[in-house]
Every structure is written in structure tokens, then in C-alpha cells.
A and B are shown apart, each in its own frame.
Chain A
Amino acid sequence: MAYPQSPSTGTPPAQAPIERIQCQWCQGINEKTALTCQFCGATLDIRDLVSESGWREAPRIRDMTEIHFSRSTCQVEGEIVPVAEINLAQGDAVYFEHHVLLWKDASVPMSVLQLPGGMKRMLAGMPFIISVAGGPGRVAFSRDATGEIVVLPLHPGMELDVREHAFLLASNNIGYSFVRIKGLRNILFGGQGMFMDRFITQNTAGLLVLHGYGNVFERVLRPNETILIEPGAFLYKDSSVRMDVQAQQLTSGLFGGTAMSLALMTGPGRVGIQSMYVHHVTE
């Protein structure tokens, strides 16, 4: 049986192979000519910097790199204290803690995200109000210390826990909630406070932008693989990673000794840390 032939050429149309580059940071698929990932801004033409111990550096985002989400863009500007400048399309919005707002067009409307548990948040020292900026227009965000912007495009069905006050902005198609850190020991000695921010995507992808102090490193833990980290260095984790506090007893004849609390992270999932951590005084 002969296949119907194209009347113009007489041969069936050939499907040209489609070449794409997959970003090693966010797994986003990019055109083969792209130099930076359009979803997270990571450079595509250099290899990931991974230490022998398995920590991968968050991608150094080139100055003025543009990242796309929904119909809007995010441009990362500067290197020492980078700024995330959002050009919001009509219908798009981002939410953020109000103290990270750097500047905005006067025309960009602001509103407040409705949050459950406001009293709990206030008691835990978390922002009582999460602000929302809607398009069209430009709005920019930055934090108050040297560090790196970490762009985490969230694919559908992801759940990510973030240290309180570390998130810079999130697109409004990402669900926001907060989870209480389990265990009194975790709260008192874990150094993360009482709550962590939790970001969840359902059926649509979204953009989450964090600011880590100093340099940011990520490691993927296998199931039941563990690592001990300084609690002040914790930045984010997949919700599948369990976090506990482990006390390291240090004894000395003269001063009786002390205990150092470290966060025990157990896989599977990603763990992100910041190298300029918030130091918590030991017991």
C-alpha cells in the first residue's frame, strides 16, 4: 500500500530532528541557540560547578539575564546584592514580603494576599502581610546583604519548604502556605524559627525567587541519605526531606562542656544552603 504523497514534492514530508538543551539546574528545555536558560537564567554554555562532596553551586546568573514566566519577565541585575526586576504582563502578579520591595512603577496596583493564621504568623515573627503586585508594569526587589538570587522554577506538583524571610518573590500561580516546624527541640535549637514558608504548585508551573546570603549550594540527597548542617545555613528543601535537630555534645574539663545543635537532613530530595549563615548561639 502506497502512502499518499505530497503533491508538491512527491515525497513524504521529513520530520527534522528537534534539538534542545536541558538546563541542569531547573530541567527546563531551551532552544539550542540559547546561552542562558529562559526559565531560571542559568548559563547553558558552562558546566555546573559541583564540589567533590556533591554540593552544586547555584548558577551564577549573568548580569541583566532575562527569565520568562507566564507572559512576564524577570531580569536579574547586579552581582553583589542582585535585584530582581519584574516586568509584569496584564493578568500576571507576584507576591512578596513588603520589606524586599526596592521600587515600582507608580501605576502598578498593590493588594494583600489573604492568609490564614495571621495571629500565629505574628506571634512567630513572620510577616503578617504578604503583598501582591499585579501587572501591567514594573516592580523590583532586593534584600539587605551580599548574596545570590536563586531562581527556582517550580514544575507542576512540587512542594518546597523555604527558610522564613528568605523568599524574595513568587508568581501568583504558586500556592503559598506556611508549615510549623515539628518538635519543640527543632523550634528552640533548630535556628529556623517556628515556621517555614511552603510553596506548592498544582497543575501549572510557577516562578519562585529566593535570596541566599553569601553563596548558595544545593545537594540532592538519596532516600535515607543524611547530612548535618549548621541550622543558620538552611535555605530550602523539598518537602520530602525530613529535618531534625541533633545535638553534638562537646565536653571540656574546665568549663563543663557545651552542646552544638546541627540540623540533620534526611533524603530523598534537594537541600539548599547559604554560606553566610545566621549564627545561632549555642546553649
Chain B
Amino acid sequence: MNTGFGQNPPSPMPAQRTYTCSWCGTVSDGTALSCPSCGATINVKAIVNPAGWMKAPGRKDMAKLNFNKSVCQIEGKYVPVADFNLAPEDGVYFAHHVLLWKDPSVPITMMPLRGGWKRALAGMPVLMTQAHGPGRIAFSRDAPGEMLALPLQPGHRVDVREHLFLVATHAVAYDFFQTGVWFTTKNGDESETHYPLGMMMDRFSTGNLPGLLLLHASGNVFVRELAPGQAILIKPTALIFKDSTVSMHLHFEHPNSGWQLWMSWQQRYLWLRLVGPGRVAIQSAFEPVEDDGASITNSSPATRQNW
């Protein structure tokens, strides 16, 4: 009978070490230098300012992101490159103008899109291209900024402002929708409709499988989690993405002044008002919003404040 007496005691089970990424929530064993899903540096505390904005995580150059059986390596500092090593069963889709280089053996084909005419009218890319493994393919954009890795958990949905999308894995479904954010101005006999956020927004969602979404933002990226009912005003063109649970509408502010100049009643600040719950991300380099100061004759639902 084996009593175990005189034998070496069984070695204790090693403590299960886990690390939860503060950026994407992925749980790993924390032995790597960076999060395997989004590349965020491990053991560096997320930088949060008193207002609640969190700076996008630092990422070591050449950080590797794993998805399914493939790997994405992020290279460079000013205009980062996403360098994919696609496994045979994996694929990605992208707007064709972000392709930087590829192995000659990697086939690229068109991805069918609905509503091509609407996209053409809205100035969005009409063509979406896709590439399949095996092989290597790399992407980058044409402006200095940060590459934002968003690993999407099953059942997740995010809305992204137009022209910021870089590449997504095939597990991420793509759709687009009308922003519903607009106003019309009248100058003499001329009437003009403005879309401060663009006519359309991209929507990315996952079903039962997780996926990886990469965005390229101009300048630096900051993210904030809004509580239910909590509101924040941002410049419309600074928006990168929001969880689809976050609602949005226009907000006009008219500043007060001790004495009014001629036509100064037309001075106004045009904001996008975002209401939680959910995440909101902004970029620090953004285009000025077109607003000629002409009289607003109509708009999508909006709030106003006169100071």
C-alpha cells in the first residue's frame, strides 16, 4: 500500500497569476511585456487626468497582438505600421488606400458592401478590400498619430467616425449608419446643409467570436467612460469612436459679451453632446468644424445654451 510516507511531498501547484489589461480588459498571465490582445504595456499604470480622460496606453515598439491564429506587430512611433502575419484561416478587411506593402502571394479581393451609392454620396470609401492568409500584409495611414487597437469581445459594438478605420479582422462585422447630426444655414437665397460629424459613421460589431479592430487617430488619443446620463461636450471632428450605447446630438452655445459687435449675435460654439453610458475616445489633432456663422434655419435634435 502506498502511504506516501518517505516520498517527496507533492510540489505545490504554482499560484495562478493573472493580469487584466486596463485598456481592453483582456486577462493574461502577465508574463509578457505587453497585452497580447491590444499591445498595451503591462505594469504601467493607466494615466488618468482629474477630468477622467485616460491617455491611450503606451505601446512598446514592435509589440505583438495575437488574434485567432494570426499575429499583428505594431511598428514605428510617428506613423505606426500594423504588420500582419495572417494564418491560412484568417483574414482582414480594410479601405484600399491604407495598404502599405504585402507579400506578392497574399491575394486581395473586394468585400461586398451594401449601400454603395449612399457611401459614394457621403464621401466614404465605396470599396472595401480584404486579404486572406497565409502571408504578410501591412497597413498605415498618412498622418502622424496613434494606432488604436480595440480588441472587441463577443457581442460588443462600437461606432467609429468616418475615415479613421484602418483594418479589422473577419470576425468583426462591418456596417454603417447615418449620423443624424446636421444643421442647415441660410445666407441670402442660398441654403446649405452641414454635417459636422460626416453623413455616415462606421459601426463594428462582434457576434459569438472576439475580433480585433485597428483605428488610426491624428495626434494623441484619450478615452473616457461616461456613467449613465453623464454628458460631455466635444468638438465633433475630435470624436474617434464611442460605444453604441452612447447617444449624441448637437449642442449650440452662444457666449455672452459686455458689448456686442455688429453681427456678433451669430457667434456660437458648435459642440457634439455625448451622453453615457459607455466609452468615448477623442483625438487631439482635429479639423476645424465648418461653420460660416450664417443663420441656422433647421437642425437635427439639438440643445442650446445662452451664456
Residue ranges of A at the interface with B (Cβ–Cβ < 8 Å): 49, 51-53, 55, 57, 60, 80, 146-148, 213-215, 217, 226-230, 233, 246, 248, 250-255, 257-258, 260, 262, 264, 273, 275-279, 282
Let me know if B83 and A51 touch, CB within 8 A. yes
User: A276: which of B64, B112, B116, B144 is its contact (CB, 8 Å)?
Assistant: B144
Complex interface bits, B70-105 against A, C-beta within 8 A gives 1, otherwise 0: 010101111111010100000000001101111110
Instruction: Please name the residue on chain B nearest to A281 by beta carbon.
Output: B97
Chain A residue contacts of B138, Cβ below 8 A: 53
User: B143: which of A52, A60, A226, A276 is its contact (CB, 8 Å)?
Assistant: A276
Instruction: Please name the residue on chain A nearest to B99 by beta carbon.
Output: A230
**Is there a chain A Cβ closer than 8 Å to B24's Cβ?**
no
A257 to B112, CA, bound (A): 11
- Residue pairs across A and B with CB atoms within 8 Å: the count is 115
| Interface SS of chain B | mixed
Let me know if B109 and A250 touch, CB within 8 A. yes
Let me know if B61 and A228 touch, CB within 8 A. no
Known: A57-B61, A147-B78, A215-B75. A273 touches B101 (CB 8 A): yes
Chain A residue contacts of B54, Cβ below 8 A: none
**Is there a chain A Cβ closer than 8 Å to B226's Cβ?**
no
Residue ranges of B at the interface with A (Cβ–Cβ < 8 Å): 61-62, 64, 71, 73, 75-81, 83, 85, 96-97, 99-104, 108-110, 112, 116, 126-127, 129, 136, 138, 140-144
A246 to B99, CA, bound (A): 14
User: A55: which of B61, B71, B75, B96 is its contact (CB, 8 Å)?
Assistant: B75
Let me know if A227 and B79 touch, CB within 8 A. no
What are 7 A-to-B residue pairs whose CB atoms are below 8 Å?
A51-B73, A215-B81, A229-B100, A230-B101, A250-B96, A262-B102, A275-B80
Let me know if B101 and A49 touch, CB within 8 A. no
A226 to B140, CA, bound (A): 20
User: B126: which of A227, A251, A255 is its contact (CB, 8 Å)?
Assistant: A255
Chain B residue contacts of A279, Cβ below 8 A: 97, 142
Chain B residue contacts of A277, Cβ below 8 A: 100, 140, 142
Known: A49-B61, A52-B83, A250-B109. A57 touches B76 (CB 8 A): yes
A229 to B136, CA, bound (A): 12
Let me know if A282 and B96 touch, CB within 8 A. yes
Let me know if B80 and A215 touch, CB within 8 A. yes
Let me know if B127 and A233 touch, CB within 8 A. no
Chain A residue contacts of B97, Cβ below 8 A: 279, 282
